[in-house]
Amino acid sequence: MNKTSSISFDFTGRFLPPVYILVFIVGLAANGWGLKSLKLNWKKLGNINVFVLNLSLADILYLLTLPFLMVYNFMKSKWIFGDAFCKITRFCFNLNLYGSIGFLTCISVYRYLAIVHPMRAMGRLTVTRSVAISIMVWLLVSVQSLPDMFYSKTSRNKSEKCYETTSKSDVENYLKYSLGWTLTGFCIPFLITLGCYGHMIVILCRKNTIDKVLKHRCLRLLLILIILFCVCYIPYHLLKNLNLWARVLSKQEICYGWFNGVYIAQQISRGLVCLNSALNPLVYLHVHEESPAQRKQQLQQVRHMFSRLPSTNSGNVLMTEMTNLNGRVL
């Protein structure tokens, strides 16, 4: 059944630039703060610090490409930086997305082994192995993302585009690639993470000998990961593949009224998936073994710092307070 459908392409230019600006500012500040705190708490974090470091680097790699995407959307989807840089920009996005998922999965597995199987994990969760696993994650994500660069990414017309996926001519093959990529890069790590924390919570709830603070910390981290996956990752992968399928049908001159809704929803999911670069630092806050009392004191100091800013004539107070907090906030 053929129907006509009008796609609201202007929505992208109105929605994504403000999201990119917000994510760029908040993401750089949060990840810079996270890296500084990671340096100061390196020994306290243990072997997980390697994964936290790589998670932050993956975020920063993507954040540095956002100014170019801002220009692209402000110019009404006209890409002026060339085909090669378009592919590099999209490749950095994929490294961030699937690298973040990979390192979050590694953190989940390490915490699972340390809490559920502490005797088996003793002496095996070394820094050397953490570095080796991190290299493997980067290699695996790169191998998964590399075929994406061989698809056409730009269109040569009056309004040159930089496609997130590919041009109309290759959309059928790209849909098959995207479905396989979603399975290996997202679904499997998501199930592993869910399984680790699900079993971990069951064990923690059954054992009364385990510290309540540890239980609450694990529950909070599980909640953060669920929010990350439900808000950032699940809608993006679902709507990306659904939109690709709509493009395949459209190429076959089969059009339905829901195409426009799927396109708009997919653009919203693109904005939401960018938020992972700003939300990932929340993981830093919960992977170290700092007590709630210490964290409460730090938050009070931060609020006190900002409450004094309006009455100052310069940034001296800010620098002084940040120096006082140096080495204590993660």
304 vs 185, which has greater pLDDT?
Answer: 185
Q: With 0.85 as the threshold, say if the pTM is over it.
A: no
**pLDDT recorded at residue 2:** 47
Largest alpha-carbon pair distance within the chain?
68
In terms of C-beta density within 10 A (0-12 exposed, 13-18 middle, 19 or more buried), how is residue 217 classed? buried
Least confident of 15-19, 115-119, 156-160, 207-211: 156-160
- The 10 Å Cβ neighbour count of residue 42 is 13
Reported in sequence order, the residue ranges of 206-263 that DSSP labels E, i.e. its strands, are: none
User: What's phi and psi for 6, nearest 5 deg?
Assistant: -105, 120
Domain ranges of the chain: 10-289, 296-330
- Name the 3-class secondary structure at 222: helix
28 vs 311, which has greater pLDDT?
Answer: 28
Provide the token pair at 165. 């996926």
Tens-place pLDDT, residues 140-169: 999 999 999 999 888 766 557 888 999 888
Kindly report the length of the chain.
330
Torsion of CA 199, 204, 205, 206, to 10 degrees: 90
User: What's phi and psi for 3, nearest 5 deg?
Assistant: -135, 155
Tens-place pLDDT, residues 41-62: 676 656 788 888 899 999 999 9
CATH of 10-289, one of 3.20.20.70, 1.20.1070.10, 1.20.140.10, 3.30.1330.100: 1.20.1070.10
Distance, in Å, from the CA atom of 179 to the CA atom of 295, rounded to the nearest integer, reads: 42
Cα 250 to chain center, whole Å? Answer: 31
Distance, in Å, from the CA atom of 108 to the CA atom of 97, rounded to the nearest integer, reads: 17
**C-beta separation of 225 from 170 below 8 A:** no
**pLDDT recorded at residue 184:** 95
